[in-house]
A and B are shown apart, each in its own frame.
Chain A
Amino acid sequence: MSRRGCGLIGLVVLILFIVGMAGGAIGRGMGIDLLPQVLGVPSLEIESFFSGEPVFLTDGPFPITNTYIASWVTIIVATLFCFAATRKMKIIPGRLQGLVEMAMEMLINFIESVAGHKNGRRFLPMIATIFIFVMFNAYLALLPVYGPGIHVTLHDKIQAEETGTVVELMVHPIVEEKDEVIALIETADGTREKVKAPNTGEIEYSVEVDGYVEAGAPVAVMVGTTENITAPVSGTVVKLELQRRIEESEQPIAKIDTGAGEPVIVNSPKDKLGELEYDVEVGQAVSADDEVAVLTSAPPFLRSASTDINMTLAMALLAVLFIELMGLTGRGFKHYISEYINVGELFRGLKLFFTGKIVDGLMASVTGVINVIIGGLEFISHMTRMVSFAFRLFGNMTAGEILVLSATFLIPWIMAMPFYGLELLIGFIQALIFGGLTLVFASIAVGHGSEEH
């Protein structure tokens, strides 16, 4: 029985491997062009590498990013999980309650093994929260719904294929309704005026964001005519509302005159839609492989919360705050501060120096100065823990995400499996590390005094 099952699984894996290789990047490199290439590795720009991409309220004071939404999903899932486990609690627990009880017991054992029995209970809420939050974040991010896995590339650079001069840029912002707002102008007294388009059609902007425009000066031109859309008031242009959009696969974008024959047309990539931004102007000379435009597709709705440096920085800040607070309350304010600003020895040395015992005074002063410097270094090392916590979690999660994406891009379905396993392991270990390190530092902060006295 098991041999037949093994053979079947082996066959399925082999078929998936062949199909995956044909459809992925390796197959495409070898010349097999069977399946449409829907998956590409996103070339992340630097703004979306460190934080998520805004999905709602993009221009307001607080854009809601996809990582923010994902962190709320994590909170809701974790809360519902524990809520469901504590309904109708029995002395002999059912399966869900048993699972949660086992998890809690492992956590409290771990915490007490490091921090001791008395402090263990005090640290449990914070450490367990950090652990559960980081672990749920890492594990929920493996679901297919979390981008940028199932979405097409976020930023796609469109390159010119031949050397030449740009003759025409063919994609224009389109006005779809009459009186649609095409720009916002802010006047000197702070009011914002809308600029409306009188007709439908394609327009071409004559101003840029943050540029100054006089009343009556053209804001945009209707393409193909000399009809100007003028500004009603003078002021600075705050926002241009219409973007150039690519609505079809392989839409022509620009014409390049190579000097030999017909102008060459550069097309948008296959099966990719989104907003377009040009990097060249009419009349500019480009060589082959120069960037002509950048295509930005819609960002995914959800993205792993730990891939956002803001999230990990906030957690690191809270962890360091927790450690310092535990130290302050555990050992008394004065005693704790004297660890860092350790001037006792220095003052003693100076006093000895000035009251006559020169050699003793000198030696004690020197040790005193060294103590002060060491205290300062200790303080700095405590503060750099914030940076190390934040970057450790962020780096592991983002590197894992990029790894899974690259593996899926090369050979879909098969090659991503070992990396998924790696992601599972890394998620658990990083949660353990973050919580465990906070625990260790907190127990050191509380424990020093009781060890010495």
Chain B
Amino acid sequence: MNEEMIKFLAVGLTGSIGLLGPALGLGLIGYATVTALGRNPEARGAILTNMILVAALTEAVGIYALIVSIILAMVA
């Protein structure tokens, strides 16, 4: 277990585990959107607008994890 191995492990694990959460979150958002559209197709505009909004907020968390792993890859 030398230093370089641990460094690569850290970079990889940060990226993968950090991106699990937002991926699951986005899937849940998609599920809720499709369910809502199925029940009430007339409210399409409002549903889609809110979906994009919440999806962007969730995706931002994934970007934070990506930035952390890129910083780790560069600095360490």
Q: Identify the A interface with B (CB < 8 A).
A: 44-46, 49, 113-114, 388, 391-392, 394-396, 399, 429-430, 432-433, 436-437, 440
Contacts and interface: CB of A to CB of B under 8 A. Distances in A.
Contacts of A432: 52
Interface in B28-60: 45, 49, 52-53, 56-57, 59-60
9 contacts: A44-B74, A113-B49, A392-B60, A392-B63, A394-B67, A395-B64, A395-B67, A399-B66, A436-B53
A391 B63 contact: yes
B70 A49 contact: yes
Nearest to B62: A395
Given A113-B49, A433-B56, 9 more contacts: A114-B49, A388-B60, A392-B63, A395-B64, A395-B66, A399-B63, A432-B52, A433-B52, A433-B53
A396 B56 CA distance: 11
B64 A429 contact: no
B74 A437 contact: no
A9 to B, nearest CB: 34
B45 A113 contact: yes
Interface residues of B, number: 16
B9 interface: no
Nearest to A387: B64
Contacts, number: 44
Interface string B64-76: 1011001100110
B71 to A, nearest CB: 7
A33 B75 CA distance: 33
Interface of B: 45, 49, 52-53, 56-57, 59-60, 63-64, 66-67, 70-71, 74-75
Given A388-B60, A436-B52, A46 B67 contact: no
Contacts of A392: 56, 59-60, 63
B56 A437 contact: yes
Contacts of A430: 56
Contacts of B45: 113
Contact of B52 (A396, A399, A429): A429
A388 B63 CA distance: 10
Contacts of A440: 53
A388 B60 CA distance: 7
Contacts of B59: 392
A396 B55 CA distance: 14
Contacts of B74: 44-46, 49
B60 to A, nearest CB: 4
A49 B53 CA distance: 28
Given A44-B74, A45-B74, A114-B49, A391 B67 contact: yes
A392 B60 CA distance: 5
Nearest to B63: A395
B56 A429 contact: yes
B71 A437 contact: no
Contacts of B66: 395, 399
Contacts of A437: 53, 56-57
